[in-house]
């Protein structure tokens, strides 16, 4: 029996994996493939968007722990630079690297936990910027065909917190990510009013890169989008739910009672999941039972304390989902990925032949 996954997830929950492989050497990927007992392994990055079951997790988990970032000029366009990143490199390190090199395109992703390899899976994003905006190329291993594959950004089916890698779970291990960034001392245009206010600027203008990164980090701290210094929110997996897409009728009803709505493409609307939770009576810091709390600043982020288990965490998530469903007829979808079969999760209901993981869409500020 393998090592417990609780040391590999930010919630610090999770039982042993049947087989846990730590992949550290980019040049030794095929050795890792040979060692894997399963042809449908779960590739784990920083575990900041993963809720792992308390029970034995069947099959192989590969923890992507490769490091390395190199910059490469784009010959055809001297204003652009490619950053070639090993998949296990923390996203925030890549943001810092880009800042030092005066490259724009990642600045609004500062402070997001997790690895760059998971970025294209979730199409990780914040403040109007997402990985898809700068993603040039991915090198990945495709497990069903046992082939190394190069994919360009337009082959990844990116949507809001979604990609082909999410649509095709357990088939891909992303090994290297190439981001194409603009050589510029200024950030991409501000797309977010709160940040613009913090910088004393207007939406649409381009602040200096370093100021943009500092403002993002500050805003994340103040709004509970980064764990607090006192550590009370340390054990979390970000937002528990996506902002759901709602019907025209639901938009009309929720707008009348003050719900924050935003466009969701194709004329649809998303409603704030945090607002829905508050409307059914929850608040930051509230105890939800089983050692699970709403985080100190944010109702939508659930934090774990001793002696929480994944089972307890999932019971709370299911209860919140039911409460919102019965109040509004709106079904909340998970943001994190559920690995294994904690009792009561969707993954547990998928049956013995189903993959050991359920993957869904993701959300961000």
- Residue 207 as a binder of ligand FAD (CB under 6 A): the answer is no
Nearer to ligand FAD, 328 or 340 (CB): 340
Three-state DSSP state, 182? strand
DSSP 8-class letter at 346: T
Active-site positions? 161, 239, 335
Distance CA 232, CA 223 (A): 14
- Residue 43 as a binder of ligand FAD (CB under 6 A): the answer is yes
The beta strand positions in 162-320, using DSSP E, are 172-183, 236-239, 245-246, 261-263, 269-271, 292-294, 301-304
Nearer to ligand FAD, 80 or 85 (CB): 85
- Residue 134 as a binder of ligand FAD (CB under 6 A): the answer is no
Nearer to ligand FAD, 26 or 291 (CB): 26
- Residue 106 as a binder of ligand FAD (CB under 6 A): the answer is no
> Cα angle at 50 between 194 and 281, to 5 degrees?
55
- Residue 112 as a binder of ligand FAD (CB under 6 A): the answer is yes
CB-facing half-sphere around the CA of 196: CA atoms within 13 A: 13
Q: How far is CA 195 from CA 95, 142, 222, in A?
A: 17, 39, 12
- Residue 53 as a binder of ligand FAD (CB under 6 A): the answer is no
| 4, 19, 32, 49: which one binds ligand FAD (CB under 6 A) | 49
**Cβ neighbours of 141 (radius 10 Å):** 21
> Per-residue b/e over 89-113, b at no fewer than 16 CB within 10 Å?
bbbbebbebbbeebbbbbbbbbbbb
- Residue 29 as a binder of ligand FAD (CB under 6 A): the answer is no
Nearest one of 257, 242, 226 to 337, comparing CA atoms: 242
| 117, 153, 244, 342: which one binds ligand FAD (CB under 6 A) | 117
User: Minimal distance in Å, beta carbon 325 to ligand FAD?
Assistant: 24
| 16, 41, 58, 119: which one binds ligand FAD (CB under 6 A) | 119
Binding-residue pattern over the window 252 to 291 for ligand FAD, x denoting contact by CB under 6 A: ----------------------------------------
Chain contacts with ligand FAD (rule: CB under 6 A):
10, 42-50, 64, 87, 112-115, 117-119, 121-122, 124-126, 161, 165, 172-174, 225-227, 236-238, 337, 359, 362, 364-365
């Amino acid at each position: 029996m393998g090592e417990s996954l609780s040391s590999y997830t930010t919630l610090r929950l999770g039982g042993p994996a049947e087989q846990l492989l730590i992949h550290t050497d980019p040049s030794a990927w095929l050795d890792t493939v040979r060692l894997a007992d399963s042809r449908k392994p779960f590739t784990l990055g920083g575990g900041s968007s993963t809720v792992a079951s308390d029970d034995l997790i069947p099959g192989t988990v590969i923890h992507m722990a490769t490091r390395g970032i190199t910059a490469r000029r784009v010959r055809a366009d001297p204003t652009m630079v490619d950053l070639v990143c090993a998949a296990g490199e923390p996203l925030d390190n890549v943001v810092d690297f880009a800042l030092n090199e005066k490259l724009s395109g990642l600045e609004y992703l500062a402070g997001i936990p997790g690895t760059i390899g998971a970025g294209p899976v979730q199409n990780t994003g914040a403040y109007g910027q997402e990985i898809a905006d700068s993603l040039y190329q991915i090198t990945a291993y495709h497990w069903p065909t046992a082939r190394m594959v190069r994919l360009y950004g337009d082959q990844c089916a990116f949507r809001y917190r979604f990609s082909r890698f999410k649509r095709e779970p357990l088939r891909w291990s992303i090994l290297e990510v190439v981001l194409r960034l603009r050589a510029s001392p200024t950030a991409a245009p501000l797309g977010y009013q709160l940040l613009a206010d913090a910088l004393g600027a207007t939406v649409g203008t381009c602040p200096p890169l370093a100021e943009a990164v500092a403002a993002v980090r500050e805003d994340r701290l103040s709004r509970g989008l980064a764990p607090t210094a006192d550590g009370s929110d340390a054990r979390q997996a970000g937002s528990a739910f996506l902002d759901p897409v709602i019907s025209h009728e639901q938009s009309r009803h929720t707008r009348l009672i003050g719900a924050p709505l935003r466009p969701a493409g194709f004329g649809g609307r998303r409603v704030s999941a945090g607002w829905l939770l508050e409307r059914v009576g929850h608040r930051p810091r509230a105890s939800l039972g089983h050692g699970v709390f709403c985080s100190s600043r944010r109702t939508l982020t659930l934090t774990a304390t001793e002696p929480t288990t994944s089972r307890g965490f999932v019971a709370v998530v299911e209860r919140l989902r039911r409460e919102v469903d019965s109040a509004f007829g709106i079904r909340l979808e998970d943001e994190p990925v559920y690995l294994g079969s904690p009792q009561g999760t969707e993954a547990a209901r998928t049956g013995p032949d189903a993959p050991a993981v359920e993957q869904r869409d993701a959300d961000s500020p």
